[in-house]
């Protein structure tokens, strides 16, 4: 009897966990329309030397049942267009986008996908459905032009038939790829032969402007939704450009509308710890992050991580001061008010993780010194 109950509970949990969508329905259309490569967009000091901008379409009308948050996913009268409020909440185990050595065969298996892939460093989960842009940001050697982990230049990568693919996976067994996928060759815009930084930036600006305009037309969006009449990216368009590469507003300020240029600078993109990356990835699927992107940029000129960090540090200071005033105990205010709030804040502002750990380490040393001095008395 116990085994029967456990089996029934397992089936129920699996059924709920996939939003009542069976594995057989993962034949939803995927269309990787283009892949355009750019290099040396960031100055030296960043570990992002190559940006592969991918234009793809995973129609919201087909993919919305797989979103964690399906708010707003209803037909828009009189058309059948689906415009979800949170298209960026696709489960991370549904599909991946990555760099592959060659186009995949018509019938794929996990072995075929694994052998064709350049590795996990060049593969990321797809979290956004719809007609959009996404960027693979890859490190390399600025002097030799070689891509780290592949040891090929961008030209060699293009010449040997490397592609970018989106592959969907079995809902119940995420390691098993489905037979619906899409790949596209990597292109380097042919009208500009030089590789200097200025020219590359000009190419990327034109690329983003053209694609945002195309998305506006293809999706029948109102004018000035993603890009305005002066070819400047709007607040809604910023959400898409950040998926291409998170710090484009700093290196291409002329591309963005007034009020979107950063007032507070943030460091270049460097590799982060696994825990911080995991927290940041999970945070980007939440409503609070989307709100922070808009509020931080429009009203304070800050990227969302910087805005959230400043806000939560201020909350921690106020909380610590409040607890001190109420209790009259400074230790209580610092530990439970200030530090306790910051520990919780890590889940909302992952960039605080490393400074918090350093602060805790320094505090621990100070505590040890204090206790050692107290021992004689």
Q: State pLDDT tens for residues 319-333.
A: 888 888 888 887 777
pLDDT of res. 346? 67
Token pair listed for 250: 């700093």
**Domain boundaries defined on the chain:** 20-271, 272-377
Peptide bond between residue 78 and the one before it cis (omega within 30 degrees of 0)? yes
* Three-state DSSP class for residue 331: helix
Element housing 55 (H / E): strand 50-58
pLDDT of res. 266? 46
DSSP string, 112-141: HHHHHB--GGGEEE----EEEEEEEEE-B-
Phi and psi torsions of 54, nearest 5°: -110, 120
How far is Cα 92 from Cα 89, in angstroms, rounded to an integer?
Answer: 8
Confidence of residue 297 (pLDDT cuts 50, 70, 90): low
Q: State pLDDT tens for residues 213-248.
A: 999 999 888 888 999 999 999 988 999 999 999 888
How far is Cα 99 from Cα 52, in angstroms, rounded to an integer?
Answer: 9
Lowest mean pLDDT among 5-14, 273-282, 301-310: 5-14
pLDDT of res. 377? 59
Sign of CA dihedral 126, 280, 71, 233: negative
How far is Cα 66 from Cα 244, in angstroms, rounded to an integer?
Answer: 23
73 contacts 82 by C-beta, under 8 angstroms: yes
How far is Cα 363 from Cα 357, in angstroms, rounded to an integer?
Answer: 10
Q: State pLDDT tens for residues 70-102.
A: 888 876 554 556 778 889 989 888 899 999 988
pLDDT of res. 121? 85
Q: State pLDDT tens for residues 117-171.
A: 888 889 999 999 999 999 999 988 878 888 988 888 888 988 888 999 999 887 6
Q: Which residues contact 232 (CB under 8 A, 6 or more apart)?
A: 255, 256, 257, 258
pLDDT(359) > 50 = yes
Query: Dihedral of the CA atoms 54, 55, 59, 65 (nearest 10)?
Result: 20
Winning range, highest mean pLDDT, from 153-167, 187-201, 342-356: 153-167
How far is Cα 245 from Cα 51, in angstroms, rounded to an integer?
Answer: 7
Q: Which one has a higher pLDDT value, 341 or 173?
A: 341
How far is Cα 376 from Cα 246, in angstroms, rounded to an integer?
Answer: 54
DSSP string, 53-101: EEEEEE-HHHHGGGBS--TT-SB-TTS--B--S-TT-B-TTTEEEEEES
From residue 75, how far is each of 71, 84, 257, 303 by CA, in Å? 12, 10, 31, 33
How far is Cα 151 from Cα 140, in angstroms, rounded to an integer?
Answer: 9
């Amino acid at each position: 009897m116990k085994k029967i109950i456990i089996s029934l509970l397992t089936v129920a949990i699996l059924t709920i966990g996939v939003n009542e969508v069976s594995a057989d329905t993962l034949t939803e259309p995927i269309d990787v329309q283009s892949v355009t490569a750019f290099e040396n967009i960031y100055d030296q000091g960043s570990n992002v030397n190559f940006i592969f901008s991918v234009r793809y379409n995973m129609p919201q009308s087909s993919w919305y049942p797989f979103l964690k948050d399906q708010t707003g996913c209803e037909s828009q009268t009189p058309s059948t267009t689906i415009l979800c409020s949170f298209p960026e909440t696709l489960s991370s185990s549904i599909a991946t986008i990555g760099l592959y050595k060659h186009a995949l065969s018509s019938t794929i298996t996990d072995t075929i996908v694994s052998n064709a892939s350049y590795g996990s460093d060049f593969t990321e989960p797809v979290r956004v459905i719809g007609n959009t842009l996404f960027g693979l940001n890859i490190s390399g050697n600025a002097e030799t032009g070689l891509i780290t982990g592949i040891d090929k230049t961008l030209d060699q990568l293009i010449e040997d038939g490397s592609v970018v693919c989106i592959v969907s996976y079995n809902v119940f067994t995420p390691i098993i790829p489905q037979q619906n996928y899409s790949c596209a060759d990597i292109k380097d815009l042919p009208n500009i032969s030089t590789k200097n930084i200025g020219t590359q930036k000009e190419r990327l600006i034109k690329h983003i402007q053209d694609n945002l305009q195309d998305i506006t037309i293809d999706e029948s969006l109102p004018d000035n939704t993603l890009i305005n009449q002066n070819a400047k990216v709007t607040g809604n368009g910023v959400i898409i450009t950040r998926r291409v590469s998170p710090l484009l507003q700093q290196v291409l300020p002329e591309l963005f509308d007034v009020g979107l240029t950063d007032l507070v600078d943030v460091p270049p993109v460097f590799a982060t710890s696994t825990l911080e990356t995991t927290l940041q990835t999970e945070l980007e699927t939440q409503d609070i992050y989307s709100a922070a992107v808009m509020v931080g940029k429009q009203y304070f000129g800050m990227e969302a991580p910087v805005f959230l960090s400043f806000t939560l540090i201020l909350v921690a200071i106020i909380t610590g001061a409040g607890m001190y005033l109420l209790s009259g105990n400074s230790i209580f205010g610092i530990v439970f008010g200030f530090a306790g709030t910051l520990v919780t804040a890590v889940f909302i502002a992952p960039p605080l993780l490393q400074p918090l750990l350093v602060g805790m380490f320094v505090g621990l040393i100070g505590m040890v010194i204090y206790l050692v001095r107290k021992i004689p008395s």
